[in-house]
């Protein structure tokens, strides 16, 4: 990897601590830090009175010691004076309740006045440090804590502007939203608002536009900052994305960034390595290029119900997992552990007394093991669309179904067979992949329909695909424009609970959904327990009329994807320069490749060139 | 039955679709439609600018084709311009939060300005179509989505007026409400409000009056519309009631309607045929006359967490179930399936491409099987009172107890023994029934106490009966004025969890409640597991000191109600013109009547004259 | 005991009932009543128009009949006219929502206007009855229903005043609160508010100060009343504390009271005798002197989901349990059972018809069995601190851990070994105890650190102790200033779920927390299942690195605390005048003391002198 470092908060310490911190960094090979992203009040404690002394000093000290700097803009934390002066900056949640000052992210991206104050502080940062620092981070974790969504009067006004831009006329909007239903037809733009605490279900077309608008609002707010920085700095700009996060269309947001960064925290009760890996791969897939883990969970965090500790070996392994999935760097959050404030229980690379920990030691060992940036071979493509995630949230046939979770089931199956995955978006080039999976893809635009038709290899498509259009209307006949391609038509459908089914006469578990298929010219390979067609093949096109779990997918995919290795609890990746195998267990393990045994120590990364 | 039809939404389609729709209707024997009940914005997209063209045209087309019309007033969906102009129309929920525009039923029935605008649109409907259409529906599903309850300033003012009317003086109110407790005594009418988000329990007398007032508000708002329509039309007027719905006193509301209609949707996770039947019977019992199923679930709905699909045979069977319980018609909701809006996943008789479905086919077969209106013999009466349901909700001994659910347990037991049930209200005539059950009847007015005393046949009364007065006070001695009649006094009581008991030395399960009885001159037939009296007989009067489930009731009732048939999964009904037997299973079934076997095909209805 | 009586509400009855009530009181030995604490509107139904007639009359009647009176001030129930006039009196909950009129405790203790009106009514009470009544109760159950906490503008202003008093300068506050984190630094006092509905975690130092301030607000409001009463009366003043209640620092509040009272209600689903006992002991420990059970659950209550009834024998036993734990009296709530209002289902000593119950009979039998006030020997001290309870609530390592519940586990273990417990506070004298337990004591001030060091007997300290300072910062090295004393340092820590561990090679269950200990000079007596030290002894100092349940504590404590008896389901207490043994079972039971058998009838209290 190219970036070894940690997130650092010099403002949390008396400056007498700084030299000791930097000494430890140098001793342990840390030569990148990210700083400054929550420090607005350090610079501007009172309106318009700017103080640069602290950061001037620490930035010089870091650079003098050969440490590279990523500087974060501090807009995730508007200071108290600003909120007291303009309380309308505060966001309102979906219950219409104001989210008050006292933690972070207490602003609406659409607040006019907040945009002005944000622009000013960002310009101050950019002017002063634009030529000194090595990279930029915009704000911090857009959308964290549900803050993508805000429903203030400023938000409403901007939503109306966004709608005018999109639809041109009210008549277009009324048609697209089907407002004739329940007399929702608008006769004036200003009648449009947010469906807060409505007696019953919202308009699903309006909801999809709300999700789009809110995602665009974050992107637009970010771009306002990027434009300012570009005026003063030619350094690369990034933003830290989040794990399992779907509120913002990261594909769209990533287009404006020089590289993608993300914050790798364990999102499940137990550490689930292939789920974290799916997130790494999604991040790599956004720009189809290397990404930075700009925050890496070091051990214990503070925001779970039960915050367990992890021995230092885990940080070592997590870092190697980022590496084999294409990371250009991994930076533990955070270098210094603080004794105060909302994150006082969050672990760091130092301990509360400022002493280096086992975690720091184990992290520093990674450097020699991860020399380059790994470039995976292209093998299996899984179609993904943030907007489809939003459609899945809105009115529903089965409220229990989760889009991303069920895509991860497929991802895991493919990875356990030893194949690399890329998530592909509608405008991606598919020519290098040999297999394409199109799961639960409610809306498939014409562009991607054509790519499916032209795809040379095997294509697997599932239920809930090609069932909706751009406006979240149901299509007349499904799968839309792909009936001939797959040889089936979805005549009707309904939700199901877990039930038995058979594929090639073996038992499978299906869940969530049942298509009622009319099969035109496919071969039926499996049935539901009521005898209706479940799995249909037409040449190298496969249609699955329900939802399978990982085991089910592993079973059906293994008929066209020969397993590359036999074994478990490893992550296996064929890259352009060799095979990378990471033991995910904290004990000895082995796998077989053909008749060859590969033995691995606890958490060992082995590279076969 | 007399009405075969479906609910239809011509405004959701370009008029080029209408002819095809009507052709299909005629082909499948549909000669009634309900239309118009959400179409306000079609008529009045801008304030005061009325457009009748669309409905003029479709109404003519339908009538020209021999299709009868029920026209719904559109007040369940006030349009956007009206809400934007008068946001005070919006209801406030019990948390004091406004329920915003964006779905339906977003109005308070007590809004002064809304009543004015409602009157105007209703008058427009009535004037124009009063002599053309065949029946009227007022509004749509009063109280749906919890909208019986609203707590705006208009609601508060009307509540105070209602209280003045009821109590005359504040002193009367203070006494009835026991306001001396916790210093709640009012010295001015305007001090009275709603107990929103109170630190602890509300005044139970005030709560009962709030439930009464809110129910009356819907009735009063409805009557305002009825009066207008009667000025222009002599056609029958109805309103569509709901399944398992207790927020409005339907008995009181039904008095103002020409006939009762209701919307038959499955309210439980699994289809529970006798629960639906209990609802049919409750609807029949409101006016003791035939009712219309004005909306019938066709298959899949859209508002559940898991919206399963039902094969078309179910619609056939559901329709026959309505029939044998006294329906004068069944109308599936809806004829046309739409691709957009909040109900896009709701099934219809057509599919998304406009093609007839199996459901439509199966529905059309019903006509020949259901020639008349079935008139059940009067056998068993179960006492019911909407106000008692409200009393059960308010402060409680066992918060887990549900009045209607536990009455359904009794209903099922009686039906499984082959007897017809009528729900009877305090002012009903009991002379034709041979058995009377008085379950969980907290408040029994003097009028009904006398009817119990005079009843010739067996009377079963349970715990929680005769324990409260009109104002929701506990009586001094219980059961009120019936201690001599049943030979027992309730000395004390408390909640219990499920526990064992014995009746005639067999094991029973009791739940929820335990009376501590003093037995004066009854014979003890059962005991709790602590040895206290549970079931006491005095001549043909039975008192049960706890709550039994269906199996328990079936057991004790079968000693006085000889089973009319032996078998299961059928609905059996003796009517004036024969015995109706409906197989509730989608497979073959049989029952025995004496030694005679009755064989039934899947979902078959057999009539023995 | 010295006080036998009941809570009585003469204002709930027509005065024609009073003589009968008093006759029954005298017949059953009731010679104390508490009255008046919710009667504001009886005295002042309209602003400034005072009516004393009712209470003048009943107070004279009671005194004439030799019945002593505790008079409660009525400020828990501000009347309707006052709230209508000044709605700003109403509290706001932590969601920012107003808690409306309609139950009780609907006021903020910091409301300026409410303090004025409170002072006036209290002065009226004190002037008129100061020389007549025998004791005073201030208000009723401060903090009940979550009302310790209110977040109105008055609250905010008073909070700022409180902070100014505490910190002097904003700079001190900013440092103590670590506001540099997330740019929360304040530049003006008026920027400070409450963190309502914040996007994510609040500032933990601010939260601790909020808890302190809210507790102080109740105390301050109470003291305002006490000062007024003292001007007119020399009778003792108390307040009724609550079971398992931690929102107010009762230790601090108790300093201003002449004696402690509390309301003994069962707080768990099943009656858990030693939990109630822990509450008795906590009450006794507040002033290290006898306390009054001013409200005793009589049987059924009304505020649970499932309100079961208890046979009268229970009231007898509960009263004796209060007695052996040092009560100077027990007063069932309430004498008269009412048929109306929010507590209509709450049991009393009379029934709904005004007849004496078995409960009254069983209560009256207690008098002869409980002649004196029991004075327990001092044996085991458990360190307790209300502020530590608050620290446990705030940001967390394991959100499932409950401070008081886990202290009760220890309390039960000690009591089952036959030893008395006192809860000790930082400024208590420890010289008479032979064992000290310091459990889960996040913050231990220097004063108590010294007491630990000087303690002669065995000291048991646990994880989560000495880890925080006064401001809720984590200390640099833990346990703070006690590393040498216990021979261990906590190097790191994390949450755990239930898991196996061993102590002296026996299996134990540990839960919630795991310290990673460095052991300097202790002897390791137990390990976690990963082999890390769990239980360490250095001379007579024991450190436990996790949380044990009752069984675990009983096991490790029994090595230094020889069991005084063998048996179960009794409460055993060595007092200065003998051994008190209460059978907690409603059936025969026995225990052994050495070889001597002690036989006990159902719920029997035996005293061995």
Residues B348 and B399 in one domain: no
Decide if pLDDT at A395 tops 90: no
Residues A444 and A401 in one domain: yes
State residue A243 phi and psi, 5-degree precision: -75, 140
CB C594 within 8 A of CB C579: no
Contact C181 A41 (CB under 8 A): no
Q: Please compute the mean of the pLDDT values over residues C342-365 and round it to a whole number.
A: 97
**Chain A contact for B54 (CB, 8 A cutoff):** no
Q: Please compute the mean of the pLDDT values over residues B447-459 and round it to a whole number.
A: 98
Final residue in a domain of this structure, among B369, B389, B409 = B369
Q: Please compute the mean of the pLDDT values over residues A396-416 and round it to a whole number.
A: 97
How many helices and strands, by DSSP H and E, does chain B display? 18, 24
Quote the CA–CA distance of B389 and B403 in Å, as a whole number: 6
Task: Please check whether residue C399 lies inside any domain of the structure.
Answer: yes
**Chain C contact for B173 (CB, 8 A cutoff):** no
Residues A515 and A391 in one domain: yes
Q: Is B409 a catalytic residue?
A: no
Q: Please compute the mean of the pLDDT values over residues B89-105 and round it to a whole number.
A: 96
Contact B77 A395 (CB under 8 A): no
3-class DSSP state of A491: strand
| pLDDT tens per residue, range A306-349 | 999 999 999 999 999 999 999 999 999 999 999 999 999 999 99
B13 known ligand binder? no
CA distance C197 to chain A (A): 5
Contacting residues of A for C200, CB less than 8 Å apart: 103-105, 144-145, 303, 342
Contact B178 C341 (CB under 8 A): yes
Best C194, C196, C200 member to test A by mutation, with max A CBs in 10 Å, is C200
Pairing mode, strands A570-575 and A578-583: antiparallel
Contacting residues of A for C193, CB less than 8 Å apart: 100-102
Residues A387 and A440 in one domain: yes
**Chain A contact for B303 (CB, 8 A cutoff):** yes
Contact A473 B344 (CB under 8 A): yes
On average, the pLDDT of chain B sits at 97
Contacting residues of B for C306, CB less than 8 Å apart: 398-400, 495-497
Residue A5 burial by Cβ neighbours in a 10 Å radius (0-12, 13-18, 19+): buried
Task: Please check whether residue B197 lies inside any domain of the structure.
Answer: no
Q: Please compute the mean of the pLDDT values over residues C586-607 and round it to a whole number.
A: 96
Dihedral sign computed on CA atoms, order B124, B126, B127, B130: positive
CA angle A517–A519–A521, rounded 5-degree value:
160
Percentage of the residues of chain C whose pLDDT score is greater than 70: 100
3-class DSSP state of A145: helix
CA distance B465 to chain C (A): 15
B104 known ligand binder? yes
Which residue in A149, A97, A184, A160 sits closest to A390, CA to CA?
A: A149
Residues A544 and A589 in one domain: no
Decide if pLDDT at A369 tops 90: yes
Residues B474 and B602 in one domain: no
CATH code, domain with C278? 3.20.20.80
CB C382 within 8 A of CB C439: yes
| Residue found by looking up tokens 């029954």 in the block | C24
Domain count, chain B: 3
Contact C205 A103 (CB under 8 A): no
Residues listed for chain B: 609
| pLDDT tens per residue, range C573-595 | 999 999 999 999 999 999 999 99
Residues B128 and B23 in one domain: yes
Helices B18-27 and B53-64 cross at an angle (nearest 10°) of 30
CATH code, domain with C484? 3.40.50.880
CB A348 within 8 A of CB A22: no
Final residue in a domain of this structure, among B315, B343, B369 = B369
Residues 6+ apart with CB under 8 A from A250: A241, A260, A282, A286, A386
Q: Which two tokens stand for residue A518?
A: 């009319």
On average, the pLDDT of chain A sits at 97
Please tell me which residue of chain B has the smallest CA distance to C348.
B492
Residue C148: per-residue pLDDT: 98
DSSP string over B198-217: -SSPPPHHHHHHHHHHHHHH
Contact B199 C91 (CB under 8 A): yes
Best C351, C352, C353, C586 member to test B by mutation, with max B CBs in 10 Å, is C352
**Full 3-state SS string of B125-166:** HHHHHCCCCCEEECCCCCCHHHCCCCCCHHHHHHHHHHHHHH
- CB-nearest to A200 from B45, B104, B308 is B104
| pLDDT tens per residue, range B241-296 | 999 999 999 999 999 999 999 999 998 989 999 999 999 999 999 999 999 999 99
**What domain range is C403 assigned to?**
380-557
Residues C283 and C402 in one domain: no
Best C72, C342, C352 member to test B by mutation, with max B CBs in 10 Å, is C342
Task: Please check whether residue C223 lies inside any domain of the structure.
Answer: yes
Task: Please check whether residue C165 lies inside any domain of the structure.
Answer: no
**Chain B contact for A493 (CB, 8 A cutoff):** yes
Quote the CA–CA distance of C476 and C484 in Å, as a whole number: 15
Residues B534 and B391 in one domain: yes
State residue A585 phi and psi, 5-degree precision: -100, 145
Final residue in a domain of this structure, among C349, C369, C389 = C369
Decide if pLDDT at B315 tops 90: yes
Residue A506 burial by Cβ neighbours in a 10 Å radius (0-12, 13-18, 19+): exposed
Contacting residues of C for B181, CB less than 8 Å apart: 12, 38, 338, 340-343
**Chain B contact for C104 (CB, 8 A cutoff):** yes
Decide if pLDDT at B395 tops 90: no
Contact C38 B178 (CB under 8 A): no
Residue B605: per-residue pLDDT: 98
CA distance A145 to chain C (A): 6
- CB-nearest to C46 from B187, B193, B474 is B187
Residue C433: per-residue pLDDT: 98
Catalytic residue ranges of A: 141, 295
Decide if pLDDT at B122 tops 90: yes
Q: Please compute the mean of the pLDDT values over residues C359-371 and round it to a whole number.
A: 95
Task: Please check whether residue B408 lies inside any domain of the structure.
Answer: yes
**Chain C contact for B196 (CB, 8 A cutoff):** yes
**Chain A contact for C514 (CB, 8 A cutoff):** yes
Please tell me which residue of chain A has the smallest CA distance to C477.
A353
Residues B306 and B273 in one domain: yes
Please tell me which residue of chain A has the smallest CA distance to B140.
A182
Residue A317: per-residue pLDDT: 97
**Chain C contact for A20 (CB, 8 A cutoff):** no
| pLDDT tens per residue, range A525-556 | 999 999 999 999 999 999 999 999 999 999 99
CA distance B93 to chain C (A): 13
- pTM value is 0.97
Q: Please compute the mean of the pLDDT values over residues A33-47 and round it to a whole number.
A: 97
CB C524 within 8 A of CB A340: no
Indicate which residue of B37, B124, B295, B409 is catalytic. B295
**Chain C contact for A345 (CB, 8 A cutoff):** yes
Task: Please check whether residue B265 lies inside any domain of the structure.
Answer: yes
Q: Please compute the mean of the pLDDT values over residues C529-547 and round it to a whole number.
A: 97
C-alpha distances out from residue B64 to B11, B22, B135, Å: 18, 10, 17
CA distance C354 to chain B (A): 8
- CB-nearest to A202 from B74, B91, B103 is B103
Across the beta sheet with C570-575, the strand order is C570-575, C578-583, C605-608
C-alpha distances out from residue B131 to B59, B65, B236, Å: 12, 17, 12
Residues A543 and A427 in one domain: yes
Contacting residues of A for C177, CB less than 8 Å apart: 340
Contacting residues of B for A195, CB less than 8 Å apart: 100-103
Task: Please check whether residue B138 lies inside any domain of the structure.
Answer: yes
- CB-nearest to C342 from B204, B491, B497 is B204
Residue C90: per-residue pLDDT: 98
CA distance B182 to chain C (A): 5
Catalytic residue ranges of C: 141, 295
Residue C295: per-residue pLDDT: 98
**Chain C contact for A348 (CB, 8 A cutoff):** no
Residue A480 burial by Cβ neighbours in a 10 Å radius (0-12, 13-18, 19+): buried
Task: Please check whether residue B10 lies inside any domain of the structure.
Answer: yes
The ipTM of this complex is 0.96
**Chain B contact for A531 (CB, 8 A cutoff):** no
| pLDDT tens per residue, range A164-205 | 999 999 999 999 999 999 999 999 999 999 999 999 999 999
Give chain C's end-to-end CA distance (angstroms, integer). 18
Across the beta sheet with B570-575, the strand order is B570-575, B578-583, B605-608
Please tell me which residue of chain A has the smallest CA distance to C398.
A306
Contacting residues of A for B83, CB less than 8 Å apart: 191
State residue C532 phi and psi, 5-degree precision: -85, 155
Q: Which two tokens stand for residue C544?
A: 């436990």
CA angle C348–C354–C360, rounded 5-degree value:
45
Decide if pLDDT at C395 tops 90: no
**Chain C contact for B396 (CB, 8 A cutoff):** yes
Residues C355 and C407 in one domain: no
């Amino acid at each position: 990897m190219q970036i070894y470092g940690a997130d650092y908060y010099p403002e949390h310490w008396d400056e007498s601590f700084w030299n000791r911190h930097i000494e430890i960094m140098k001793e342990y090979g840390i030569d990148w830090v990210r700083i400054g992203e929550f420090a607005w009040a350090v610079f501007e404690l009172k309106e318009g009175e700017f103080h640069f002394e602290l950061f001037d000093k620490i930035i010089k000290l870091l650079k003098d010691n050969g440490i590279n700097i990523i500087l974060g803009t501090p807009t995730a934390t508007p200071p108290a004076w600003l909120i007291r002066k303009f309380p309308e900056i505060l966001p309102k949640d979906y219950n219409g309740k104001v989210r008050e000052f006292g933690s972070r992210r207490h602003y609406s991206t659409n607040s006019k006045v907040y945009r002005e104050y944000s622009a000013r502080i960002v310009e101050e940062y950019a002017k002063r440090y634009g030529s000194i620092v090595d990279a930029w981070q915009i704000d911090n974790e857009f959308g964290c804590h549900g803050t993508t969504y805000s429903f203030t009067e400023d938000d409403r006004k901007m939503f109306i502007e966004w709608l005018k831009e999109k639809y041109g006329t009210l008549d277009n909007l009324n048609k697209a939203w089907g407002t004739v239903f329940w007399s929702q037809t608008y006769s004036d733009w200003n009648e449009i608002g947010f469906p807060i605490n409505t007696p019953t279900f919202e308009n699903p077309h309006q909801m999809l536009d709300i999700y789009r608008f809110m995602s665009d609002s974050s992107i637009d707010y970010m771009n306002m900052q990027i434009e300012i920085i570009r005026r003063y700095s030619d350094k690369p700009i990034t933003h830290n994305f989040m794990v399992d996060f779907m509120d913002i269309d990261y594909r769209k947001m990533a287009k404006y960034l020089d590289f993608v960064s993300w914050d790798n925290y364990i999102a499940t009760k137990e550490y689930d390595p292939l789920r974290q890996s799916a997130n790494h791969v999604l991040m790599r897939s956004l720009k189809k290029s290397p990404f930075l883990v700009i925050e890496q969970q070091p051990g214990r965090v503070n925001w779970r119900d039960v915050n367990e500790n992890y021995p230092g070996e885990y940080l070592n392994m997590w870092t190697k997992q980022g590496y084999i999935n294409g990371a250009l760097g991994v930076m533990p959050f955070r270098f210094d552990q603080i004794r105060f404030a909302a994150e006082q229980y969050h672990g760091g690379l130092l301990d509360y007394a400022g002493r280096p920990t086992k975690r720091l030691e184990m992290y520093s060992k990674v450097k020699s093991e991860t020399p380059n940036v790994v470039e995976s071979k292209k093998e299996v493509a899984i179609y993904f669309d943030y907007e489809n995630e939003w459609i899945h949230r809105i009115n529903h046939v089965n409220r229990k179904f989760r889009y991303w979770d069920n895509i991860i089931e497929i991802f895991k199956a493919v990875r356990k067979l030893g194949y690399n995955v890329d998530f592909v978006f509608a405008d991606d080039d598919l020519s290098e992949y040999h297999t394409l999976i199109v799961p639960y893809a409610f809306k498939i635009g014409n562009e991607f329909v054509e790519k499916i038709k032209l795809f040379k290899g095997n294509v697997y498509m599932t239920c809930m695909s090609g069932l909706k259009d751009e406006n979240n209307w149901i299509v007349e006949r499904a799968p839309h424009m792909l009936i001939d391609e797959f040889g089936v038509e979805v005549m009707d459908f309904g939700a199901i609970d877990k039930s038995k089914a058979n594929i090639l006469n073996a038992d499978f578990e299906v869940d969530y959904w049942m298509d009622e298929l009319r099969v035109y010219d496919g071969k039926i390979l499996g049935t539901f327990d009521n005898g209706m067609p479940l799995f249909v093949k037409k040449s190298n096109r496969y249609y699955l009329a329900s939802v399978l779990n990982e085991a089910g997918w592993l079973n059906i995919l293994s008929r066209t994807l020969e397993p590359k290795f036999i074994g478990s609890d490893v992550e296996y990746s064929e890259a352009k320069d060799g095979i990378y195998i990471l033991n995910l267990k904290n004990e000895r393990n082995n796998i077989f490749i053909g008749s060859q045994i590969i033995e691995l120590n606890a958490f060992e990364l082995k590279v076969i060139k």
